[in-house]
Amino acid sequence: MSKTYLLTGGAGFIGRHLSSELLAHGHHVRVLDNLLEQVHGPSPLGLPPEIELIRGDIRDPEAVSAALHGVDGVFHLAAEVGVGQSMYEIARYVGVNDLGTAVLMEQLIARPVERLVIASSMSVYGEGRYVTPDGRPAAGRRSNGRNDLGWDPLLDDVTPLKPVPTDETKEPDLASIYALTKYTQERSCLIVAAAYGFQAVALRLFNVFGPGQALSNPYTGVLANFGSRLLNGQRPLVFEDGQQRRDFVHVRDVATAFRLAMETPGVAGEVFNIGSGHSYTVEAVARMLAKAMRRDRLAPDIMGKARSGDIRHCFADITKARQRLGYRPAHRLEDTLDELAEWISRSTAADRGDHAKRELEQHGLVA
């Protein structure tokens, strides 16, 4: 059955792919987006002509109310994104992410929908799961910077810990303002939906990549940052020693996951990890992309410095999403980098990586 769905922040990277996914399944799509230049550039990428676009701010009750008229469900993607920037543009991140979500929740009380799907983040976990050398679970907290044995978390400041896949039962451990706002978004949606009788599902997204990322925005995905640097003949900037591990999930798999979260019965109130189920070191990913772009000579610049708010290892256990949503990621990083490299090579991007690094240093957030 054809439905009408609202995508807040739907003109962004994930929103455009999700719009295509929904249109392909016969649905009508409406987008509410403020078309912020940091995200979209001076000339925002076009949306399919079938999409109804409302230009407005998620913090504007009138714009949100108008956008909700006649919709069956909402995908809430609108957010400021960036761990580092969130640590000094605090009011901006809290205002858009948390106040914006509060405005949406108040308007949904007046105009309830069948289901709301919220884009949460793996950042809410802080460090991922760890085990001791003999396999016992252990908390993986660390202070920013190196310890006597390197960058990895230690047990009692002595014993190295092994990172393992992180599942949804891990307690949140918020290490940045961005993580705090995403957790507030997630909880607000689930609490209000339960109180007012509509359904909500939260997806904790891991590192999303693919064609269409904002290459000139240095606060978005690491692969977009690397691509922008390489495109401009610069070495990718890698913090710490480059051996931190992450899960990279293709945007088309993420779009499918959102649709499944909207359509699957019996999952209201649930939280799901959406990743690839594979982990990679950040250094390896930088080298893989350089090779795909035929710029192997541009080896990563391993800076040996840590950013405040960063975590060491976190990668997804996607068992729950597989079992409950039928989620099956189909686009592995190593199989799709050529596609990404080709798209980057046809793009133009202002490399602002050094600017972002200087801003972090000026605020004392790199050590």
Cβ(318)–Cβ(328) below 8 Å:
no
**Residue in the structure block whose two tokens are 């592995």:** 332
State the Cα–Cα distance between residues 6 and 105, nearest whole angstrom.
14
Q: Say whether 178 is catalytic.
A: yes
Closest of 364, 280, 270 to residue 314, by C-alpha: 280
Amino acid at 273: N
State the Cα–Cα distance between residues 248 and 331, nearest whole angstrom.
10
Cβ(174)–Cβ(183) below 8 Å:
yes
Catalytic residue of the set 5, 125, 178, 280: 178
Token pair for residue 130?
């760890």
Cβ(98)–Cβ(185) below 8 Å:
yes
253: CB partners within 8 A, 6+ apart? 274, 276, 327, 329, 330, 331
State the Cα–Cα distance between residues 71 and 108, nearest whole angstrom.
11
Q: How many CB atoms lie within 10 A of CB 173?
A: 16
State the catalytic residues.
Answer: 178
